[in-house]
Structures are given as C-alpha cells and as structure tokens.
Structure 1
Amino acid sequence: MAWSNCLSRLTMNRDDIDNLIQKGSFSCACNQPELQETHISWIILCDQDVFKIKKPIHYDFLDFSTPEQRKYFCQEEVRLNNRLTQGIYLGVVTVSRLQDRFAIGTSMGETIDFAVHMKRLPDQRRMDLLLTRGMVGDQDIFAIADQLITFHSKTTRFDNQDTEGLLVKVNAIQQHEQYVTQKLGEEYGIIIRQMIDLNTRFLNENHLMLQERGHSGFVRDCHGDLHSRNIFLAERPIIFDCIEFNPDYRRIDLLNEIAFFCMDLESFGCRELAEVFLEYYNTNYPICRNEREYALFVFYKAYRANVRAKVNLLRAISDAHNDAYLGEAARYLDLMQGYSKELGAINER
C-alpha cells in the first residue's frame, strides 16, 4: 500500500521526458535517443530498442490517469500484440528517478512509471512510408491478408454486437463540432452534422443485420487499429500496436477491422490496392456476403475516417501551434463525406 500511495503522487510530464532524453540512462545502447509523440504516448527510439511511455491522461475512451492503470495497460499491450508478432514486444520495464535524473529499465532510483520495451524495426520498411513512394504491390497486400485471415479465424469470438455503443463511438466526433467549425469553417461543421444523421439512420435500419453478424461469428477480438503506420513490410509483414486501452474498440466486426485498412490505403490514393485486399481477403475468408453487408463495409470506412479525423483534432487541440493536424483532420473529414455519399448511392439502389 505504501508503494502504491507513493507511486500515485509521481507523474511524468513533457519536461521529464526531455530530461530523460537529454541526460537519462537506458538499459540498452542509446547514443542519440529520438522522441516521437502521439496524443496518448511518448515513444523513445534508441539504437536497437524502443520504449513507449503512456501519457497520464483520461479521455472518454481511455484512462491512463494513474501509474497502476499505465502499468496494467503496458502489460496488456505486450500480451495482446504477441498474438500477431513474436520477438518484437520484449516486456514491461520501470521508469525511475534518482534526484534530477531519469532512467528506463535500470535499477537506479525509485520507480515512478512504466514503459513497454520493444525491438526497433527499420523505419524504411514502414508501410505508410512505402505507400508514399509507390513501393507497395499486390504481393505485399496478399501477405498481409493471409496473416490477418489466420489471426482473425483463431481469435476470440463474441456473439453479441453492441449497436448502441457503436452509435456512441461513431457520433463521438460531434463533441468537436464547434471547434471544427471555428477552425475549419462552417462547411466542415455541416459534414459532421450530416454524418451524425446518417450514422443514426443506418444503424437503426440495420440493427438486425449487425446482430446476425454477431451470431454468425463475425465479431472477434481483433487488432482494432489496423492501418499502414502499424505495419512493417519485412520478409513477413509485422502487424503491431493493436488497441490495448479499451477492449470495446478491439472486439469488433471483422468488416470494421478491414475497413480501417482499406480506408487507410485509399487515404494514400491507393484505391486499387484496397480493392485487391478486399477481394483477396473476402475470397479466402468470406465476411462480406451481399450488397447490404458491402454497405456496412462502406459505413465502417466512413467511421474509420471519422476516427482518424478525431485523433487529429485531439492532437490539434493539445498543440495549438501545429496546423498540420487540422489539415489532416480536414482531409479525413473530406474522405468521410465521400464515403457517406457512396453509402447514400448504395441505399438508393
């Protein structure tokens, strides 16, 4: 109890992270540590290793507010990602402090936090970077699909799908409507309002279909964050960084899972690769069986564009001086609108 009470009073901030990078100690070779930051984590790249520290934050979809929570979700991240990768996630290590210095994975000082320890992968093989260079082909797509089919066919099944919870998730972007209108203009506020109406109608009209898909085994414990930045194209694709912070975002319809990947490919202008992936995956593991289920696939693509827009809005809100995040949010909102129009055309047929 004394350890827990002491630990709960200690929380790292950005100044501490900078201190760690500038003069900290690491349990591995780390000659020039490099910081990458997301809206929920600080990621420190060393020579051959990576350390990922969760930010002490609390959103509506995750809670990293206490050291105990952060330790638990570090452990979950390692456990869950080992389903798809082997030898990449090396374990959970302590972050400690001795006077004015910080350390990761060493025995110095008192423990103040925790980090996921990973093997560093070659940046030049990260799929999103390869997509921008036109260096991803059909064989890469087939290899990713084969790996996902094996994973999806074996992972835990859930018979029920929470359609009310899904509606809350897809409409969560509404809380940022005022900010979007202020920063991007009224037309983007309109896009959000129109999408909210479409989401509500679509899920209400297709409630029975979603429930049937759960009963048919299509709701599984998936990856949950399946996009190209989370894939390295090595000799065998390495698919990592699944959702650990909230199982509801991972226990989803398989169409929802692959819709994220296809939306991501299309966001790079690679619609043909997205079509190749869907056709190959669905031929070998049929999960999209008719036109109504294809409409659901398009709905999920719109939802996933919605998610990426929201992530970039959160980044923009936390970093008011970085307009790039607003630009990315606008790009995904435009993509979301395109899917909503496609969905409307399907519904009219």
Structure 2
Amino acid sequence: MSSTPESPAAGPVPLEAKVAFLRHPSSYPDAPYRVETMETHMAWVFLTEGEAWKLKKPVCYGGADFRTLAVRHHFCDEEVRLNRRLAPEVYLGVVPLTLDSGSHLQLGGDGEAVDWLVRMRRLPSRFMLDYVLRHGQCSARDMQCVARRLVAFFESLKPVDIDGSACRDRYARQIAASSHELLQPAYGLPAAHVRLVCHRQLSALDRLAERIDGRVADGKVVEGHGDLRPEHICLYPTPVVIDCLEFSRELRTIDRADELAFLALETERLGARDMAAVLFQQYRALSHDHPAPALLHFYQSYRAIVRAALAIAHLKEVQFQYSRKWAASAMNWLQLAEQHQNWRQ
C-alpha cells in the first residue's frame, strides 16, 4: 500500500465531486427514488431504499489513516471480511468508483478506479437495538437472542497470542491518554474530579492484574468486534452486528468480557439497566464463562472514561466548539465511570 498522502482534493477527482455524484439517485444500479446521506468523521454513507454505500474519507483520524487510495481499498476489503463474521448477509462486497472513457464517474465498470465503496443491505432503523431501547420496546428475549449470537461468535474465534502484561499495559496507556484529553484546560472540565476518576481506574487495574492475566491465560482474549454498541445491532429477524473496527486489530483484540461489558454499559446509558443484567445472565448461562463482578465493573468504568474523552474531543472541531452538549456528555460518562468504580458501596 502506498504511503503518499492524498488530500481531499488530490487526484483526478476531488472528494466533493465524488460525494455530489453519489448523492444522485441515477448513480445507483437499483434506481432509487431518493438518496439520503450521512456524514461521519471518517466516511460518507449514502442510503437508498434498500442499500447503504460507504465511502471512506481521505483523512487521518483517531488512529485510522485513509489518505491514500490503496489504503482505502484495503480497509474496504477488511471491513467486508471482518463484518461478514457477524452480518454475512448485510455486507455485499466492495465496489469501485470509476471513470469511464468520457471521464464520467460510475459505480462499477472497467474504468480507472478513483475510489472504493462498501456495499451493504440497509437495515431498518426501527429494529436497531438503540432505537428499541430508547423506546422501551426491548424484551428480555431480545437481549437473550443478542447474547446467544455473541456467544456463538466468541466461541468461533481463536484466542489471541498476547501476554497479560501487554494487555494491562494497553489499558494503562488508554486511561492515561483519556486523562490527558479530558484535562485539556480549554475544555473547562473539573480537573480534580477527572484526576480522581482516572487515578482510581489505574488503582483498580493494579488490583485486578491477576484476574486479567487469568483471562488471557484462559484464552478469553480474541479478535472481536471492537465497537459493540446498541446502534450497531439489528434485532430482527435474527440479530446481526455491523460496523466492526476494521482499521485497528489492536482495538478489536479484546477480552470477551470487556466487549460484553461495553455493550452492557451502553445499554445502561440508554436507561435499560435491567436489559444489561439479562445480557450478562444469558451470556454466563450459555458460555459457562463467569468473569468476576469486579472485573466487569472495571471494564465498564474503563469504557466510560474512554467515551468521556471521545465526547469532549468534539470541541476541537469548528462546528462543535461552542456547543455545550459535549462537555455535558463527557461529565455524564464520568459519572457512569464513578458508579461502576463504586459498585461495592
């Protein structure tokens, strides 16, 4: 893969022209009535009635460097390969965006590839787990089905060859990085509070060293999903999970219990602590894996601290720099972290 940086306007076709083309219904093989667009930090997503097409941006963000065409092509392939583990019928393939002989853009074709897109089936928003949780429509059976799907997934994976100290070092580095982000003076967060929460997390990491090492030795660290949130799970007709972290094997190398704890934390944040309990209960029953409560709470408080740092980092972006939303979100995540640190009280 080439390492030469490519700016959004570099190459034969600028990003803006690609986006304009992909916004138009006539660009798609299923001739949709309309195209909806969604923009994230790292991609544009184009939604037709039945499909979703993802175009990675030529950016370097959050550990992902997509600034070259070759790298974007590689990670489109990786996105399909990895996500077919949990959503084989959703991820349809990788399609080139090409220039025809008249220098007109087209999806597919035999011309020069100027970019690549991941082609997916569109999932119904009303069946996504975050929507169902927010509207109080999630049943215990729903969460049991999610747990069953995850247990089958975890048990299909080989343990990762990693030692316990390396695993613990990674947690320590991420806690330190999150603390550094949260303590930026420009954000105005209460520094003493942030330091206390992060210090307690590092202390818990030291106390739980033997348990974490035991999880590694027992083969519980796998190459999992890496971003297991309710908005990435569609419940019906059977659970599928999308949007694996394709760009970082390190971030998706994870203790099964950590992965599950993250989903439980996000479920709790959406006001469904009872459903989080069902998730844990069904996981234990099906997997015969019984991670210690102290370890689960550590993973949840750790994830909450990381989420707090990600939330506050939005203030670096021009469109968010005057928004109060992200500081409030960061404080809410820190409060959740404290709740899980104080679980014994």
| TM-score, structure 2 normalization | 0.87
Paired with 2:327 and 2:282, the residues of 1 have a C-alpha distance of 30
Paired with 1:329 and 1:40, the residues of 2 have a C-alpha distance of 22
Aligned to 1:245: 247
| 1:118 matched to 2:120 | yes
**Kept in 1: contact 2:301–2:340 (CA 8 A):** no
Paired with 2:108 and 2:206, the residues of 1 have a C-alpha distance of 54
| 1:327 matched to 2:330 | no
Aligned to 1:13: 15
**Kept in 1: contact 2:90–2:120 (CA 8 A):** yes
Paired with 1:157 and 1:271, the residues of 2 have a C-alpha distance of 30
Give the 3 Å change call, closer, same or farther, for CA 221–118 of structure 1 in structure 2.
same
Identical residues among aligned pairs (%): 28
Residue 341 of structure 1: how far off its partner (Å): 4.2
Give the 3 Å change call, closer, same or farther, for CA 329–308 of structure 1 in structure 2.
farther
Paired with 1:266 and 1:4, the residues of 2 have a C-alpha distance of 41
Give the 3 Å change call, closer, same or farther, for CA 285–319 of structure 1 in structure 2.
farther
Map 1:1-349 → 2, pairs under 5 A: 9-10=10-11, 12-13=14-15, 16-22=18-24, 25-59=27-61, 61-97=63-99, 102-103=105-106, 105-107=107-109, 110-160=112-162, 161=164, 162-179=167-184, 181-183=185-187, 185-187=188-190, 189-289=191-291, 293-321=292-320, 327-328=325-326, 330-344=328-342, 346=344
- Structure 2: where are the runs of 5+ without partners? none
Moved more, 33-42 or 304-313: 304-313
Residue 296 of structure 1: how far off its partner (Å): 1.7
Deviations 1:142-192 (A, max 9, x none): 00001111111111212424211222123322342355x534x332x4443
| TM-score, structure 1 normalization | 0.86
**Kept in 2: contact 1:50–1:118 (CA 8 A):** yes
Moved more, 297-306 or 229-238: 297-306
Deviations 1:236-293 (A, max 9, x none): 111111111101111100111001110111111111111111112112223334xxx3
Paired with 2:86 and 2:161, the residues of 1 have a C-alpha distance of 23
Paired with 2:326 and 2:105, the residues of 1 have a C-alpha distance of 34
Q: 3-state SS of the aligned residue for 1:112?
A: strand
Moved more, 93-102 or 158-167: 93-102
Q: 3-state SS of the aligned residue for 2:41?
A: coil
Paired with 2:215 and 2:5, the residues of 1 have a C-alpha distance of 48
Paired with 1:298 and 1:15, the residues of 2 have a C-alpha distance of 47
**Kept in 2: contact 1:29–1:48 (CA 8 A):** no
**Kept in 1: contact 2:41–2:61 (CA 8 A):** no
Aligned residue pair count: 338
- Structure 1: where are the runs of 5+ without partners? none
**Kept in 1: contact 2:300–2:340 (CA 8 A):** no
Residue 119 of structure 1: how far off its partner (Å): 0.8
Paired with 2:314 and 2:143, the residues of 1 have a C-alpha distance of 30
Paired with 2:118 and 2:274, the residues of 1 have a C-alpha distance of 36
Deviations 1:27-50 (A, max 9, x none): 332331111122222111112111
Residue 61 of structure 1: how far off its partner (Å): 2.4
